[in-house]
Structures are given as C-alpha cells and as structure tokens.
C-alpha cells in the first residue's frame, strides 16, 4: 500500500504527518460522550471512530474495538493487525466509502485522549543526565549524585502500572495549606466566561480527577472556589509575530503556560523586530493560522496548566 494517497475529500496533503503512512491508534472520548471510550485512528486533523467504523464496515472484527480499549486488538496478532490497517487504508483512500465514514470522523481538537491499553508493568529509565543528577542529589544528599556506572550501564527503576496516566487528561494538583486545608488546582474551564468561579461541570470534572488520583478523598467537602482570567487561544498556543497592521507585532495568548517559554519567545520576537522577518521557530504561531485553519496542537504537550 506504499504510495496510497488519502481520498481527496479528506483534504490531506501528501506527506502530512498523520497521513495514510502512519495511522496511529488510540483511545478517546468527547465532551458529548465523556463516559464512552472509543478506539480511534488519527487521519489528518481528524480522528476516525474505529469502534463505530468496524461495527459498520467490518463486523467480523468489531469485537476487537467494542470496549474502546486496544487490549483485544493487541492480543489478536499480526494477521488481524494487517487486515485492520488495510481496511482503514481502503476506507480512507477510496471515494466509495465517503458516505459510510464521513459522520465517523471527529475533529482532533475535540477528542480527549485516554489510556489506550492496560499497562501490565513498566521500567523507567532516566534518559537525561541532568534529571538523573537532580534526583540523585535528593536520594543521596552530600554524596555523588550519579552512581559510577550511570554513563556506561543504564539504570532502570521498576514503576507502578497504576501510576501511568495519559498526558493532558489528569488536570489536577493537590497542595496543603498551613491551616491543613487541601487546595486542588486545575486547568482551563471549557466554558468561556468572565466569572471568577468555575462552572459546575468543570468542578465535577476536577473532583473526578482528584478521586482518580486519590480515591480516599471521596468524602472531602468543598469549602470555596475561585478562578482567574487567562488569555487563551482556541488551540492553547500563543500568537506571535507581525499582524496585518504595519509595525504592530504581538506576543500574546500564553495563558498560564507562558512563563516557561518567556526567554525564548522574547529572543525570537527581538529577532523579528530587528530583522523584519519572522524566525522559523515562531512561524507556526502567526495570527493568520486562525484564518487558514492551521492550528497548533499543543494542548497535550502543555499537559497541566500550572
């Protein structure tokens, strides 16, 4: 199937990172169906609902995706993997399947990723010397942060599978005040407003994340809540560079994510002002991306908003 192109009605350019040559699998939910995990395949800027697609077009394999998890699919073996990938490629490359799958394509920005399979076990390896050194100073205060063999033999740490979560799905942190109260932090309320309080749906979602992290807090009572106002963009990424107004440049829309990128954004904007040209590193964050539909998918990279 090398060289097969996506159907023209999908509007996917050749060489797109999520074209037919990749087709990554995952599990997702949407706001209108938050308790129904579905198996999906990324294609362009959309996600094909594979749970529904196989039920409609490949019923003999639908049971592999009915739960929304990839467990059964992974256990099915390479013959099933090959059959499914060929079927997906056929559906997405031939116009005759347009009516059959068009309503099963979900905008990627509205798909919330979930843990796609059961993690039975894992080993964590520190790839960064700096990170390993910092952890070593905590474990061995006053001693050498790295063991003598670290640069020659990798050191793995056995982890708990229950601690594995999907980046961007557990938006919560917990901190204790001097008075013993627990403060639960969160992220951005999906309902836009100028209120200094979160919406009921947002509070319920936060409570669910807290209990997922620490089930013992199920009877904790909410005393009060507050919220701040952030300048967020639809794709959770900043707007940087020149605008249609001559001489007017912007570096806005960072919300609560911006403090970590302050130094590099300042340097890039200085180059832009001095040279009159937009540095490549910030080219994707231009204001015109909203008119062109070339949004930046950085919400997962940002993970938690604090």
- In this structure, the number of other CB atoms found within 10 A of the CB of residue 230 comes to 15
| Helix residue ranges, H only, the chain | 50-57, 71-75, 78-93, 98-101, 129-139, 200-213, 262-275, 289-292, 299-302
Is 131 part of the annotated catalytic residue set? yes
Q: What one-character-per-residue DSSP string does 245-260 give? A: STT-EEEE-BGGGGGG
| Residue 94 CB neighbour total at 10 angstroms | 11
Residue 260 structure tokens: 């970590």
Of 132, 127, 108, residue with least CA distance to 43:
108
Q: Exposed, middle or buried: residue 204 (CB in 10 Å: 0-12, 13-18, 19+)?
A: exposed
Which residue among 16, 63, 130, 131 is the active-site one? Answer: 131
Q: What residues are annotated to the active site?
A: 131
């Amino acid at each position: 199937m090398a060289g097969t192109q996506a159907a023209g009605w999908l509007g996917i350019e050749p060489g797109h990172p999520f074209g037919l040559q990749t087709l990554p699998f995952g599990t997702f939910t949407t706001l209108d169906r938050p308790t129904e995990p579905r198996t999906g395949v990324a294609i362009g800027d959309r996600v094909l609902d594979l749970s529904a697609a196989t039920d409609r077009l490949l019923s003999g394999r639908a049971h592999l995706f009915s739960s929304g998890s990839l467990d059964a699919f992974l256990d099915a073996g390479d013959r099933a993997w090959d059959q499914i990938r060929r079927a997906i490629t056929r559906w997405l490359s031939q116009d005759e399947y347009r009516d059959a799958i068009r309503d099963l394509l979900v905008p990627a920005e509205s798909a919330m990723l979930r843990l796609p399979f059961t993690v039975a076990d894992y080993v964590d390896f520190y790839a960064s010397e700096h990170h390993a050194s910092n952890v070593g100073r905590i474990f061995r205060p006053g001693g050498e942060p790295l063991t003598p063999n670290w640069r020659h033999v990798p050191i793995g740490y056995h982890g708990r599978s229950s601690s594995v979560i999907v980046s961007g799905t557990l938006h919560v942190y917990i901190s204790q005040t001097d008075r013993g109260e627990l403060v639960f932090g969160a992220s951005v309320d999906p309902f836009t407003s100028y209120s200094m309080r979160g919406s009921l749906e947002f509070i319920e979602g936060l409570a669910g994340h807290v209990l997922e992290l620490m089930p013992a807090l199920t009877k904790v009572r909410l005393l009060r809540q507050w919220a701040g106002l952030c300048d967020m963009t639809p794709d959770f990424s900043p707007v940087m560079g020149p605008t249609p107004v001559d001489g007017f440049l912007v570096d806005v829309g960072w919300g609560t994510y911006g403090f970590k990128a302050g130094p590099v954004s300042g340097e890039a904007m200085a180059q832009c002002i001095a040279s009159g040209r937009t540095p490549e590193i910030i080219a994707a964050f231009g204001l015109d991306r909203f008119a062109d539909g070339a949004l930046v998918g950085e919400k997962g990279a940002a993970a938690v908003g604090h």
